[in-house]
Structure 1
């Protein structure tokens, strides 16, 4: 199958040739996407507009190499898979981060239906991103490199994505299979980028998931997470922050932008 013209630059950037629809193809796209495109909250913190128009997202990711957060990442993979002929639709989850809280729906994810089975796809979860589709079957473990995930049904009868850790399972978010539209995403995106209590309004978050290492920056703490070892770097000034963002995340920021980020989130 030949992909539509709109997404040629996206698939070329990932070095993917989507000729035959398969779950293996989706896994390849997912793995390469989270390695190639940086997850980050830069636009929120720097006061840049965040468009959910697919042409703008392609330009921002593929041409400008700026990356973004869940509403952009998962919109991009959703529309790309849809253009190839996959059956996909958007869902909006509630981030709970292992807490028993009633949080707003602020996390866009993707539902894939393939050969009478349903799969969760998420390329916008930062450093905890799955590397491949997770079958939506309660209790089934999905082992992915050095990480393991499962989906359970919680007491509210919602699905709950959990990540295995040394201290048991960590609950990442809850979701259901209700119908959501782009209008719902626009509302949730507005909250995530503008509300004074929103995570990305108050925190610098960046990540890339490479085959052998996960790069994770949160405010003044930078982690390079390998399979057997994690390096932790304490960021002490805005020039160091600027250098890390350029060298490891391949994003060019001016000194003024770097100083703004540092003063907002690292002091």
Structure 2
């Protein structure tokens, strides 16, 4: 395994397995999602977002700034591959339960293990499964939520989560051969196109087996098995406190003020 991942393993408090196995895979996914926030902070601030592995580890792990799918899932892909897992890069269309023509702006990993295929995603925010999801139309519990992978026409698949109103399709994908070049295109759109969701909206989330916290612009939602709460970010100072204390982001007050003015002030 590359020494690049030494600090990453230490942060996750993991010991590499002697052989790839499902127990370690699930432990890794759960700890990564609980440790490093999913967020659009750099996209909103207009900062550069390179996808070289060393720079991703510096930003996400050492600087404590988290990231979004093209960052989190590249780290996961390279880490699992370094441990001997059989990994496939997949690029998906985010639907959020809308049957629409969407670009491929989401990256995740498929792992082949013991003649079974698993969806591994550590970069889909509050809706992300916190364990591997086995292919096959069987409901699987992952933290507070239940998921399954539905095969549809044209050899495509959908990741589906159970919600109170019924089934909710998160994203659609196929198993064609994708490369880092495909990710660069989706990444460029997602963090630089003027109409991109993450350029225009502040989204920050963290998820564990027992709780989901997600900030969407002015509203902080917290959900557990027994309750749900909401809190409004009505000042830049309150936003800064939530970003630094709740989500442990290493962010300056003037940056929080910019985020507040850009994504929140006009909505209050």
What SS class does the counterpart of residue 201 from structure 1 fall into?
Answer: helix
Partner of 1:18: 16
Asked if the contact 2:220–2:232 (Cα under 8 Å) also holds between the matched residues in 1, the reply is: yes
- Superposition RMSD on alpha carbons, in Å? 1.0
Q: Does 1:243 find its partner at 2:241?
A: yes
In 2: Cα distance, 1:128 partner to 1:34 partner: 11
**What TM-score, normalized to structure 1?**
0.96
CA deviations on 1:125-173 (whole Å, 9 max, x unpaired) are 0001101111111x21111232100111234441011100111010100
In 2: Cα distance, 1:149 partner to 1:50 partner: 31
Partner of 2:172: 174
Which range moves more in the overlay, 126-135 or 251-260? Answer: 251-260
* Superposition pairs of residues 113-192 of structure 1, within 5 angstroms: 113-137=112-136, 139-192=137-190
- Following TM superposition, by how much is the alpha carbon of 1:84 offset from its aligned partner in structure 2, in angstroms? 0.5
In 1: Cα distance, 2:47 partner to 2:194 partner: 16
CA deviations on 1:208-257 (whole Å, 9 max, x unpaired) are 11232111000001011111101100110111000000111111322221
Which range moves more in the overlay, 124-133 or 139-148? Answer: 139-148
Asked if the contact 1:4–1:84 (Cα under 8 Å) also holds between the matched residues in 2, the reply is: no
Partner of 1:252: 250
Pick from 186, 198, 204 the counterpart of residue 202 of structure 2.
Answer: 204
In 1: Cα distance, 2:86 partner to 2:253 partner: 44
In 2: Cα distance, 1:181 partner to 1:44 partner: 23
CA deviations on 1:51-70 (whole Å, 9 max, x unpaired) are 11000011111110111000
Partner of 1:217: 215
Asked if the contact 2:9–2:15 (Cα under 8 Å) also holds between the matched residues in 1, the reply is: yes
In 2: Cα distance, 1:156 partner to 1:171 partner: 17
Asked if the contact 1:164–1:170 (Cα under 8 Å) also holds between the matched residues in 2, the reply is: yes
- Following TM superposition, by how much is the alpha carbon of 1:5 offset from its aligned partner in structure 2, in angstroms? 1.2
Which consecutive residues of structure 2, in runs of 5 or more, have no partner in the other structure? Answer: none
Q: Do the aligned partners of residues 175 and 202 (structure 1) sit closer, same or farther apart at CA in structure 2, a change above 3 Å counting?
A: same
In 2: Cα distance, 1:153 partner to 1:19 partner: 32
Asked if the contact 1:98–1:171 (Cα under 8 Å) also holds between the matched residues in 2, the reply is: yes
What SS class does the counterpart of residue 140 from structure 1 fall into?
Answer: strand
What is the aligned length? 264
Partner of 1:30: 29
**What TM-score, normalized to structure 2?**
0.96
Q: Does 1:76 find its partner at 2:75?
A: yes
What SS class does the counterpart of residue 250 from structure 2 fall into?
Answer: coil
